[in-house]
A = this chain, B = another copy of it.
Amino acid sequence: MSGEPLQSADMSCRIAGIRLPSPLVLASGIWGTSPGLLERAARSGAGAVTAKTCTPLPRRGHRNPTVVDWGHGLINAMGLPNPGVGEELELLKEASRRLRPLGVALIASISADTAQGFAESAALVARVGPDMIELNVSCPNLGAEHGEMFAASAAAAAEVTARVKAVTSLPCLVKLSPNVHDIAEIARAVVDAGADGITAINTMPGMLIDAESGAAVLANETGGISGPALKPIALRCVHDIASVVNVPIIGTGGVLSGVDAIEMLSAGATAVGVGSAVFYRGEQAFSLIRDELAAWLAGHGCRNLDQIRGRVDWRRQSAVATSLPPVPGWDRGTSG
């Protein structure tokens, strides 16, 4: 821990053949509303950036309050405000142009209320140059006719995936919700249907109530929890998913520091989503987390991220040799 960075680690990783110079991925819905903001995240340390989810038609979203910091995390019910896929194409085109010279990958994010809607948006979006498409089947803020239903059902999520894969050759990530009984089952279904990766997780449904007035705080009443409170849920989901599928996972939820990122990689993630950290650590969130991660890796003599990924399971099958410096204590077994 206190060792000086002797040698800096290679922080790059690959998702569906796309190289990310850093494992940090700007999560959808944060700063993803303009090419300028996407570029800002890229320049400050993200290895890939995800645009705000767009829907076939424009949406104004919910009334305020839409985002609140409740002390142990954030909760939001933006209601997917977005200009619709038509305008989104311009944003993606320009963002792609700006990101290419930086070597940072662009992920488009789409949502729709039918599998067909997903496929139509995917076909449009694929033409304007994103490196990947993320299928947001898990936004919890849209009522039963929309969104959530896909991530809650293995069959529905798989159908969306298959329909999209049929119209584009771009790598597809499917973004899953923690609000299901068995997230691994959903992950298996979408991977069987052709998903090239999984983004896990979206926010966890919750509610804040103001004691003084007796009112729900969010205008939408319920919203999605993100930030610190979400981290153990996200780690568990990523670990569950990594145990059953073999595609890369963008582990997302409550990553605020380099150590959080190490935990997420240890759970089995290939890359690490960063959203609420922008609130908790300010606009330098990406560079801070990237530098902490680099320092940790160097301080522990790691040369690349493969030496961290999935460590929890290496440890369980403790006969498996690792190239990590041995962690004192744990490999003594019970003979001591």
Contact = CB atoms under 8 A, between A and B. Distances in A.
A239 B209 CA distance: 10
A211 B1 CA distance: 11
B312 A236 contact: no
A198 interface: no
A208 B225 contact: no
Most buried by B among A72, A204, A205, A214: A214
A315 interface: yes
Contacts of A329: 213
A contact face: mostly helix, strand, loop, or mixed? mixed
Interface of A: 1, 70-73, 75, 152, 179-182, 204-216, 221-222, 225, 228-229, 232-233, 235-236, 239, 259, 262-263, 266-267, 296, 308, 311-312, 314-316, 324, 327, 329-330
Contacts of A225: 232-233
B232 A330 contact: no
What are the 7 tightest A-B residue pairs by CB atom distance, in nearest-first order?
Answer: A214-B311, A206-B232, A207-B236, A229-B229, A72-B72, A209-B263, A211-B262
A241 to B, nearest CB: 12
Contacts of A210: 263
